[in-house]
Amino acid sequence: MPASARLLSAELTAASARGGVQFTGTRFIDAQTRRTVRGLTTVLHRQLPVAPHNTATCGCAARGADQRRRGVTQPGVRSRKYRRSLVGSASALRAFDHALKQSRCRGRGEREHGTLVDEQLQRIVSGGGGEQLDPCTVTLLAFLRARKWRPLCTQLVMRSRDWNFATAADLLCRDAAGGLVLVELKSTRREHSSSCYTAAAAAGTSAHTQHLVQLYCMWRVLTRECGVPVAHSAVVRVNRARAHCYPLVEPERLGAAGMSDADIARLFAQPKRV
C-alpha cells in the first residue's frame, strides 16, 4: 500500500476511534458508558419516511415479471422452455443451471441481500476471496475499477457529537489523485429505473433524498467534526445489471437534496423531556 494510502487509512482509523462507539451487529453503544447511541438510519427512517413504491405507475412490476419469464442465459427465450430443450445433454443442463444460479441475487429480501453484499465487499477489501460473488458485488467491483476508486475500508463506525448519532460508512476509497471518496452503497434485487428511485410522492420523500441526507451526515462528521478532507461523496446504487452514481454536489454550500445544514440539524433535535 502506498504511503499516502496508509496515511489516509490512519486518519480514518483515528476518526473512528475518536467517536468512542462500538457496533454490536444490531446497535451502536458508547464504549465507556455502554449506553445505546441512536443510529443515523433509524432517525432518518422516522423523520424522513420514504413514500411507498408505486409499481402501477413506474412499470417495475411488469418489467420484473417479464425478466423472470425470459430468464437470463438466453435473452428473449423463456428459461423453462429453453431448459427443456437441453434435456438430452446433462453437461448443458448443468451449465445452464450454474449460469442461472450465478445471475440471481441472493438473500430472501432486500435487507438480507444488502447485508450479504456488504459482507462480501468487506471480505474482499480485507484480502479474502475465493467465494462465488453476488451479481451486485460483481457490478460494484466493475464500477469501482472504471472510476479508478481503490477501496480502503468498509463499515467504518463514526459518531457525530454535534447531532448525537452513530453510523457506519459503507465504503471509503482512494481516487486516482489520492483523495478520499465516501460511498453510500445501496444494492437492490430489483431493477428499478433512476426516475423511479428519485421520484417523490405526497405520502413521503423519495429514497434518493433520504440516502443523500444520510450521505451528507457522514460527510459532515468526517470533514467538520474529524477534520478529514473528502474529495468525492456519492450514493452508488447497484443491481445485477448496472450501477448508478448520485454524487453529493457542493455539500458545503447546498447541503443535501436542497436542504440546508440547519434543516438537517432539526431532524436530530431531541424532544424536551417533561
Residues 27 and 100 in one domain: no
90 and 167 in one domain?
Answer: no
83 and 163 in one domain?
no
Residue 274 lies inside a defined structural domain of this protein: no
Is 176 domain-assigned?
Answer: yes
Answer yes or no: do 89 and 196 share one domain: no
CA distance 230 to 175: 11
Sheet architecture: strand order including 28-30: 21-23, 28-30, 36-37
**Domain identity same for 192 and 122:** yes
Residue 273 placed within a domain: no
How many helices (DSSP H) and strands (DSSP E) are in the chain?
A: 12, 8
In this prediction, residue 77 carries a pLDDT of 43
Sites in the chain below the pLDDT cut of 70 = 1-5, 7, 53-89, 91-104, 107-108, 129-130, 191-195, 200-204, 252-255, 257, 270-274
At 20 the pLDDT is: 92
Residue 237: give the domain boundaries. Answer: 3-61+110-267
Q: What is the structure's pLDDT at 206?
A: 83
pLDDT at res. 113 = 83
pLDDT at 211: 92
Number of domains comprising the chain = 2
- Got the DSSP string for 48-86? SPBPPP-HHHH-HHHHHHHHHHH-SSSTTS-HHHHHHTT
Contacts 24+ apart (CB under 8 A), 95-101: 99/72, 99/73, 100/71, 100/72, 100/73
- The pTM of this model reads 0.80
- Cα dist from 78 to 103, 106, 243, whole Å: 15, 21, 26
97/83 same-domain check: yes
H or E element at residue 110: helix 110-125
One domain, residues 26 and 140: yes
Predicted pLDDT of residue 131: 75
Q: Is residue 13 part of a domain?
A: yes
| 170 and 250 housed in the same domain | yes
The answer to whether residues 128 and 252 belong to one domain is yes
Domain identity same for 203 and 83:
no
